């Protein structure tokens, strides 16, 4: 039952019923609604500012997982990059050294199409982080691809290892068991005719005229002719970038184009060309460079004999050609 309110009228000396106008009711309702709206707005503001909705909590958990996965992925890429660098070092300093292959040339990583790829990521909130990660992945893929090509090349070299070992020069060109025939080594020597300090690009072995000269590795005779300086000489192409030269022969025993084996007779010691005494001038050529033959006698010398012949070859003196 609704409460009825009264007030005392002093003029009439009586109690009268309090009347409620429509405007009073409207104002009261409006005031109540306004207060409710303000309180509700404050509550919503507090809720959205300081409290997470269920969806927001799910999204935050997903973002945390995403950032953690990015961190783990970055760490894995760093480790993989270290592994690739280690493979490159082993490739350069071990594998290719075994096969005497030239190191692979690795160009700096650059892809003109990457800028377009990264441009698609620039609209993301964490674009810098994702672009950096993508760049690392692309660079790692590039290095892995290069290393794969290198291993393919090494695989082919391994298949040819037997042929390689049989082809490269590995013995002395004449019989020299007592090591007494080493006359002049590789390096600067006094020229026997011009008497000047001149670079001697091979090793001279003295021996009586007619002493057999042998091929120091398997190969194909590229040259068998008389030349003004070398006199009668033979050049053998061993493949794998190697060739060898035998000069001042008294007689050549092979013809151009012939296949020869290591230890096979190719000519005889003489003193033709620019020579002052019977001997064989022997050279080893790698690519276009004449290198010291002293490092290519490993098949017919013991360690002590090799050391002795190195000392003989290093002596200063006069060459024979």
Helix residue spans in the chain (DSSP H):
22-50, 54-90, 96-99, 114-119, 127-159, 161-167, 303-314
What is the distance between the alpha carbons of residues 317 and 203, in angstroms, rounded to a whole number? 12
- The owner of tokens 């008497």 is 195
309 and 189 fall within a common domain: yes
140 and 195 fall within a common domain: no
Residue 258 lies in a domain: yes
Query: Quick check: 88 and 148 in contact, CB under 8 A?
Result: no
Number of domains present in the structure of the chain: 3
pLDDT at 195: 57
Which candidate, 93, 92, 96, 100, places its Cα nearest to that of 240?
100
Residue 169 lies in a domain: no
37 and 120 fall within a common domain: no
Residue 165 lies in a domain: no
- The owner of tokens 């012949």 is 309
What is the distance between the alpha carbons of residues 301 and 171, in angstroms, rounded to a whole number? 8
What is the distance between the alpha carbons of residues 212 and 26, in angstroms, rounded to a whole number? 132
pLDDT at 258: 96
Last residue in a domain, options 159, 190, 217: 159
186 and 294 fall within a common domain: yes
30 and 129 fall within a common domain: no
Residue 175 lies in a domain: no
Please report, for the domain that includes residue 291, its CATH number: 2.70.70.10
46 and 65 fall within a common domain: no
Last residue in a domain, options 122, 144, 159: 159
Which candidate, 180, 239, 232, 237, places its Cα nearest to that of 206?
180
Which candidate, 115, 114, 237, 105, places its Cα nearest to that of 169?
237
Residue 253 lies in a domain: yes
Residue 171 lies in a domain: no
Q: How far is CA 63 from CA 53, 123, 214, 263, in A?
A: 15, 17, 76, 74
| pLDDT tens per residue across all 321 residues of the chain | 556 666 666 776 766 666 666 777 777 777 778 888 887 788 777 767 766 667 777 777 777 787 778 788 888 888 888 888 877 777 777 677 666 677 777 776 655 555 566 666 666 666 677 777 777 888 888 888 888 888 777 777 777 777 888 898 999 899 887 666 776 777 766 655 555 567 778 888 888 999 999 999 999 999 999 987 899 999 999 998 999 999 999 999 999 999 999 999 999 999 998 888 899 999 999 988 998 888 888 777 767 777 776 777 666 554 555
Residue 123 lies in a domain: yes
Query: Quick check: 293 and 169 in contact, CB under 8 A?
Result: yes
Buried-state track 281-298, b at ≥16 Cβ within 10 A, e below 16: bbbbbeeeebbbbbebbe
* pTM for the full predicted model: 0.51
Counting other chains too, the contacts that 100-109 makes at CB distance below 8 Å and 24 or more residues apart are 100/168, 100/240, 101/153, 101/154, 101/157, 104/146, 104/149, 104/150, 104/153, 106/143, 106/146, 109/138, 109/139, 109/142, 109/143
pLDDT tens by residue, 140-194: 888 888 888 887 777 777 777 778 888 989 998 998 876 667 767 777 666 555 5
141 and 32 fall within a common domain: no
119 and 42 fall within a common domain: no
pLDDT at 197: 60
217 and 293 fall within a common domain: yes
Residue 125 lies in a domain: yes
Q: What residues contact residue 288 under an 8 Å CB cut-off, 6+ apart?
A: none
pLDDT at 233: 95
58 and 137 fall within a common domain: yes
State the residue range of the domain holding 304.
Answer: 182-314
95 and 197 fall within a common domain: no
């Amino acid at each position: 039952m609704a409460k009825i309110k009264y007030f005392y009228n002093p003029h009439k000396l009586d109690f009268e019923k309090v009347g409620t106008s429509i405007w009073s009711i409207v104002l009261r309702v409006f005031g109540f609604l306004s207060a409710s709206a303000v309180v509700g707005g404050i509550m919503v503001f507090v809720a959205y500012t300081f409290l997470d909705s269920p969806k927001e909590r799910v999204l935050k958990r997903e973002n945390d997982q995403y950032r953690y996965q990015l961190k783990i992925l970055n760490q894995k890429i760093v480790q993989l990059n270290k592994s690739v660098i280690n493979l490159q070092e082993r490739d350069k300093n071990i594998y290719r050294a075994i096969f005497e292959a030239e190191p692979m040339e690795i160009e700096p990583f650059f892809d003109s199409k990457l800028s377009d790829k990264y441009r698609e990521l620039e609209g993301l909130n964490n674009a810098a982080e994702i672009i950096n990660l993508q760049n690392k992945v692309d660079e790692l893929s590039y290095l892995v691809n290069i290393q794969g090509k290198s291993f393919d090349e090494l695989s082919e070299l391994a298949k040819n290892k037997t042929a390689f070992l049989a082809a490269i020069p590995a013995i002395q060109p004449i019989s020299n068991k007592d090591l007494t025939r080493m006359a002049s080594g590789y390096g600067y020597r006094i020229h026997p005719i011009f008497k000047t300090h001149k670079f001697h690009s091979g090793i001279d072995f003295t021996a009586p005229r007619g002493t057999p000269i042998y091929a120091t590795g398997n190969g194909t005779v590229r040259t068998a002719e008389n030349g003004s300086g070398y006199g009668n000489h033979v050049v053998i192409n061993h493949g794998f970038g190697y060739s060898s030269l035998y000069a001042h022969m008294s007689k050549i025993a092979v013809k151009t184009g012939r296949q020869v084996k290591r230890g096979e007779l190719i000519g005889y010691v003489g003193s033709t060309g620019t020579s002052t005494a019977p001997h064989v001038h022997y050279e080893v050529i790698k690519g276009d460079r004449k290198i010291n033959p002293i490092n290519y006698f490993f098949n017919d010398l013991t360690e002590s004999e090799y050391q002795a012949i190195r000392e003989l070859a290093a002596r200063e003196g006069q060459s024979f050609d």
